[in-house]
Amino acid sequence: GRIDPHKLTKILIPIVEAELLQEKYGEWWVRVLHPFLPVLLTRVVSNLQRDIESILDLKSVVLSAFVRDKEVLVELFQKVGRVELDFLV
């Protein structure tokens, strides 16, 4: 299932605001952007859901993560192939 953009926006707003607070003039940015964040983030999430392939090469991200962390790859391989591996051994 897909995540409702409005629900994700409610989760993202405090995270975005916390990150903004770390920046120079962060409190000012939070005050200025707060009224617009719900609409802006909902639109961003909706656009990402609709057209993620043109923004993010998910296959490349997953492959590079597996190459970087071989333990995760081995664990995934063992979980997914447990029945076949048990049969072979």
Q: 55 φ, ψ to 5°?
A: -105, -35
> How many Cβ atoms sit within 10 Å of the Cβ of residue 19?
12
Q: What is the amino acid identity at position 59?
A: K
The pTM assigned to this predicted structure is 0.61
Q: HSE of 6 in the Cβ direction (CA atoms, 13 Å)? A: 0
Compute the C-alpha angle 72/77/80, nearest 5°.
120
According to DSSP, residue 34 is labeled T
Per-residue pLDDT reduced to its tens digit, 13-45:
999 999 999 999 999 999 999 999 999 999 999
Structure tokens at 69: 């962390």
User: pLDDT tens across 35-89, in order?
Assistant: 999 999 999 999 888 888 888 888 898 888 888 888 888 888 888 887 776 776 6
